[in-house]
Structure formats: C-alpha cells, structure tokens
Amino acid sequence: MTNMEFWTGEDDPEWDRAQEALARAGVTDGLPVIPPSRERVERMLAAIRVPGDTIVASLPPAYAEVAWHDIAVNAVMAGCRPPYLPVVGAAIQAMTAPEFNLLGIATTTGSATVCVIVNGPIVGELGLNSAANAFGPGNRANATIGRAVRLTLQNVGGARPGEIDMATLGQPAKYTFCFAENEAESPWTPLHVERGFAREASVVTVVGISGTIEVVDSESRTGADLAQTFAQSMLIAGNVGSAGLLGGGEPLVVMPPEHADVFQRDGYSKTRVKQALHERALLPIDRLASGLRARAAAGGGAPDGLLRIARTPDDVMIVVAGGVGRKAAYVPTWSGTTRAVSREVANQPRRNA
C-alpha cells in the first residue's frame, strides 16, 4: 500500500471480535494481537525440534512452568514468524537465571524491563536489525521477538500491569526492546564472544534496564574526549542503586560504528574504553541529597567520596549498533540487583519453517 490507500483484501469481522475477546481476557499489551489459533500455534511449534509440552523454565513472578507451547502462543500473538521462536525461548531461559532477578524486575515500582540483544549468524538468518533505527520501529523480527518475551512474562509469569507489575510510570520499552549487535561494522570483539561463546554461535543476552539516554557527540576526535562525553552522560543522581552505585552496576553503552571508529583510530580497544569510562564517570557523593547519600553509603558505595557506575571496568558492557551518525545511547541497568545473562539459541529453526 502507498499513499494511505485502503486495504484491498476482504474485511474480516471475526478478526475484530477476536481482538475484543482477547483484550477482555487480559492477554494483550493494549495493542492488537494475532489470534493464536490452533493452526498458527502448530506452525510456530513446527520451527523447533522438541515437543510443545517440553518445559523451558519456571517463570517469575508467579514461578509458573512455561512450556514451548506457552511461548509459541505468545509469539503468535506478538506477530512472530515461526523461525523467531528459538530466539524468544532462549531469552525466556536467560531471564529466569537467578542472577537476572526477574522477580525484582517484574514487580518493582521502578521502570525496569528486559532488553534483548542478539548476536551471531541467526541475526542475518532472521533479518534482525542492528543498523539504522535498531532501537526503533520498522523491523518485524526486532519488534515481535521483544514483544513475545514481554507477553510471555505477563501471561505466563503473571507480571500483569497494575496487579503484579507495579511500575510507577513504566516505559515504552516494556512493549518491546530487542536489537542485534552490528558485528559487521564493529572494530571490536562482539558481546557474545566476550561472554565466552564461540563467534559462530547464535546467542541471546538479556539485560535488566531502566531506560535509555541519548548521547550525542559529533565533535570529539579523540578517544579521551569521547570517553569524557560518555562518562558524564552516565552520572544520574536519581539512579543510585541498592549496591551503592549509580545504577545496577553493569551499565550498557550502545554506540554507533562512527563512535567506535573514533576510539579505534585513537588506539582504544574495547577494554581501554571500559577503563576510561570507569575512571571518568565519577560523581562526588556530596552532590546528592542527604537521603540518597545515606542510601549510597548503606550500599557500600563511595568509600572515597566518589560514586561510580560499576565496581570494575569489566562490568561495563559495550555493544556496537546503529547506522550513520554519532548518536549513541547509555542504557542504565536497573538499580536493584541484576546481572546480564546470555544463552545460546538452541532448537535452531528448521530451514523450511
């Protein structure tokens, strides 16, 4: 369709009735969904090599057993194509790891949600977006994989908004947040290899995040200057966490290839960038309100009077993504207790799925 023309297919009153019924059942995210008919769910499950009743994990906050069939139903509703199902399942498995603390993320009054990062050959196979507008709309795989993860958390895990999910404001990423690393244009080792996987492996990493902050610097031509911009963008007084750090202690920096190239040309490895950010992102504790100073101190932060974004430089995560331009993002992790978790994508989609 172009120029806002009418849809030329047949009108389907049953579709409208399905939307009303599913909304009344409380299984949508407020947006229209694909009705999970038996045929659609069976086609979704045909993409994997295990029975649909195979249990994947116990999913907080309800600690309900989630089977592949449950994930498939939510993947259908989210609009996934069948080959996306193994990626959704890997994300579900990853976020049930104890160190991710899904119970806290799903029930906090904060704006925490799940960010899904995909690496490896499956990115190209599924057409995931790692380039321009990687965080935004326009790509079915990105949009629906992230949405399926969220719908499964709500409909199986019990994280229903206003009932168990008690976020004061929430955030748009609670609808969906999934993107791929732009490995082809990165000068550095990709995230999944850093985290111990083979380069040829397809891997999903989940991160408990509290939002995104744009970092714009088109002027800096040295690694030191660019690191200064990033570091100063990470000092958020209202994000003092329970560990006495600014945020959850494992901050995520997503930078476009042009920023990565500035660092690389100036001799900065990814390790050196992490060290530079850790050294420069310092907030004097006396700049905080008294209550926040007490919170930071109780968490063991700022023994030298300076608040940090992480315990060590290695805790800083750097991912290259995006297209043309020098606009990056700081993605602070939830200020509760959480750690990123990675899982290899098992049950790879059948080629004819």
What's this model's pTM, rounded to 2 decimal places? 0.96
| Domain range annotation of the chain | 18-209, 211-340
Find out whether 345 and 334 touch, Cβ atoms under 8 Å. Answer: no
Neighbours of 242 (CB within 10 A): 18
Residue 58 has pLDDT above 50, yes or no: yes
Cα of first residue to Cα of last residue in the chain, in angstroms, is 27
Asked whether the predicted pLDDT for residue 352 surpasses 70, the reply is no
Q: For the residues 290-296, what does the mean pLDDT come to?
A: 91
Q: What per-residue confidence (pLDDT) applies to 285?
A: 94
| Arithmetic mean of pLDDT, 274-303 | 93
Task: Work out the mean pLDDT of the chain and round it to a whole number.
Answer: 95
pLDDT digits (tens, 9 = 90+) for 32-41: 999 999 999 9
The sheet with strand 327-331 has its strands ordered as: 213-216, 327-331, 252-255, 317-320
For the chain, how big is the Rg over CA atoms in Å? Answer: 21
Q: How many CA atoms lie within 13 A of 146 on its CB side?
A: 28
Longest dimension (CA), the chain: 69
Provide the token pair at 249: 């202690």
| The pLDDT value given to residue 348 | 59
* Cis bond before residue 35 (omega within 30° of 0): no
Is residue 296 pLDDT above 80, yes or no?
A: yes
pLDDT the model gives residue 301: 86
With beta carbons less than 8 A apart as the criterion, state whether 57 and 93 touch. yes
| pLDDT at site 302 | 87
pLDDT band at 351 (very low <50, low <70, confident <90, very high): very low
3-state SS assignment for residue 155: helix
Does 16 have pLDDT greater than 80?
A: yes
Under a CB-based contact definition with an 8 Å cutoff, are residues 118 and 204 in contact?
A: yes
